[in-house]
Amino acid sequence: MDYCGDFIELLGPDISTKILMNLVNPSDLIRVSLVSSSWHQFVIENGLGKQLCLKLFPEISGIVHTIEMNNLIDTVGHKQNDCDELECLRKNHRIYTLLARAFNPFVRKDCISEAVIASSTDNYPEESIHNTLEPFDRIDTRASYWSSEGQNNPAVPETLLYKLMTKMCIVTEIHVQPFQAYFQYGFPIYSSKDVRFRMGHKLQSEMTDSSTSSNKSADDEFIWTYTSPEFPMVQENCLQKFKLPEPVLCIGGYMQVELLGRVQRQEMDGLYYICISHVQAVGRPLLPRFDIEICLIHQGGVL
């Protein structure tokens, strides 16, 4: 049998790089680098781990240099000799392939770690936002849900703010379940008309956790780097799943649920309310060791 040779050697670096960049699983690139010493060197010297990471998740291209990994990522070009530069490339290869694997959007998990604040609460703490972390609308004999204050105007929106498990998460879909008041006549369901989601980071180091804080004051303390389209919410007592158009990289670890429009009036006082029993953010939190520090640059940039 004739020797066909190494395809990387035969095709050259440019075409070989284009072929390898069609991989969709970071683990495959690791396997490629283990085929032979020459393939291993090619993958490392051409920074294919970083290229694949940025291809899979282009949202992180502007903040890669701020990812804190115990100073594991070094800048090539400031080394004293070739050995140091090669070691730097090897180190960065390990980091970026691990980073890409850690961002795998196909691993599903609830990314919410805590409920922070609601734009309004009718009866605190019995009807606080913290109840929305419970997967059921009843705990023993007690109803578990968040309720807004009542409004005469059904167009008045409400917001729920959550902190995610890590400062960087890939979020693919968000689940929201309206609350059905089984203790009221007719068993009304207090859903909103539409829902929208925003993700971003906090401007200030501290924020007052108060059930009476206004929506405006909460917004003033955040930069939202992503805003979803509006999704219609049905007036049904079920966990409603809202899949985002594309997986979203949440940089900063905060998510806001915007509840737009009210559809249910309470018979007792004639006011419109929104009540939610459960919220989930489905995706993949990045390992905590990859957490980043968010810096505000000129009142509007993220590094």
| pLDDT tens-place string over residues 122-146 | 999 999 999 999 999 998 889 999 9
* End residue of a domain, out of 60, 85, 102: 102
Greater confidence, 290 or 125? 125
Report the pLDDT averaged over residues 211-240: 81
Beta carbons of 62 and 19 less than 8 angstroms apart: no
DSSP per residue over 153-189, as a string?
A: STT--EEEEEEESSSEEEEEEEEEEEPB-TTSTT--B
* CA dist., res. 85 & res. 145, Å (int): 56
- Cα separation of 73 and 94, whole Å? 10
If asked whether residues 195 and 220 sit together in one domain, one would say yes
Give me the pLDDT at residue 288, please.
64
In this prediction, residues 244-252 reach a mean pLDDT of: 85
Confirm if 148 and 212 have CB atoms less than 8 A apart: no
pLDDT tens per residue, range 16-64: 888 888 887 777 888 888 888 888 889 888 888 888 877 777 656 655 5
Residue 206 banded pLDDT, cuts 50, 70, 90: very low
**What integer pLDDT is reported at residue 13 of this predicted model?**
85
Q: How many domains does the chain have?
A: 2
Does one domain contain both 89 and 126? no
Phi first, then psi: give them for residue 302, nearest 5 degrees. Answer: -120, 130
Q: Where does a domain end: 87, 102, 117?
A: 102
Q: Which two tokens mark 51?
A: 């290229």
Residue 68 has pLDDT above 50, yes or no: no
pLDDT at 79: 47
What's the angle, vertex CA 167, arms to CA 221 and CA 216, rounded to 5?
A: 15
Q: Would 183 be classed as within a structural domain?
A: yes
The reply to whether 66 and 141 lie within a common domain is no
Sheet strands (E) in the chain: 109-110, 112-118, 138-139, 142-143, 146-147, 158-164, 168-178, 192-202, 222-227, 231-232, 240-251, 254-262, 264-265, 272-273, 275-285, 296-297, 301-302
Q: Please state, for a pLDDT cut of 70, what percent of the chain lies above it.
A: 76
Res. 302: pLDDT tops 60: no
- CA dist 279 and 110 (Å) reads 9
Residue 277, domain extent: 109-302
Query: Do 219 and 239 belong to one domain?
Result: yes
- By the 8 A CB rule, do 110 and 279 touch? no
Q: Find out whether the peptide bond into 125 is cis, omega within 30 degrees of 0.
A: yes
In whole angstroms, give the CA distance from residue 241 to residue 25. Answer: 26
